[in-house]
């Protein structure tokens, strides 16, 4: 497994298309929100192929980790946790960033809690899927 900053975001977008649009049925208009050009993209490789990705947006002291996805064949391998840890490392290296935030699909809250995130606020709908915001200090 190799995780790196993506020099080219097209493999990240292809992964997001496969997982969010094709597998989960999220509308293209919801997935392609126009923020990719402002973001830092993380790309994970397994066996020479792009397998997972995450996107980071920084707003003041908060870094928002989002668009986290792993291809079905690689789920349960620790790749998702490695993507989150790599994203946290990117945020820790940014001066002034003190917190990480993400919008977790409700079924994944326990996964993010094991990585140090705590739920905040109420459950909300995002693209037809129940989500809850989560926060952690860096």
Walk me through the domains of the chain, giving residue ranges and CATH numbers. 2-137 (3.40.630.30)
- Reported as type and span, the H/E element at residue 84 is helix 79-92
Residue pLDDT, tens place only, 109-119: 999 999 999 99
Q: How many CA atoms lie within 13 A of 71 on its CB side?
A: 17
Please answer whether residues 15 and 26 qualify as being in contact, where contact means their C-beta atoms are separated by less than 8 angstroms.
no
Q: Give how far Cα 11 sits from Cα of 14, 42, 58, Å.
A: 5, 10, 22
Sign of CA dihedral 115, 127, 121, 67: positive
Q: What is the pTM of this model?
A: 0.95
> CA-based diameter of the chain, in Å?
40
Residue pLDDT, tens place only, 4-29: 999 999 999 999 999 999 999 999 99
**Mean pLDDT across 84-89:** 98
When pLDDT is cut at 50, 70 and 90, the band that residue 53 belongs to is very high
The predicted structure's pLDDT at residue 122: 97
**Mean pLDDT across 70-81:** 96
């Amino acid at each position: 497994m190799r995780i790196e900053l993506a020099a080219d975001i097209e493999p990240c977008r292809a992964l997001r298309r496969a997982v969010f649009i094709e597998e989960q049925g999220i509308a293209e208009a919801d997935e392609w929100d126009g923020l990719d050009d402002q973001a830092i993209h993380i790309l994970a490789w397994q066996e020479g192929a792009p397998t997972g990705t995450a996107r980071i947006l920084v707003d003041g002291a908060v870094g928002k980790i989002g668009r986290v996805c792993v291809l079905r064949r690689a789920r349960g391998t620790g790749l998702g946790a490695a993507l989150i840890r790599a994203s946290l490392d990117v945020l820790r290296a940014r001066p002034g960033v003190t917190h990480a935030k993400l919008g977790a699909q409700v079924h994944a809250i326990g996964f993010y809690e094991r990585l140090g995130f705590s739920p905040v606020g109420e459950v909300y709908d995002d693209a037809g899927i129940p989500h809850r915001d989560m926060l952690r200090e860096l």
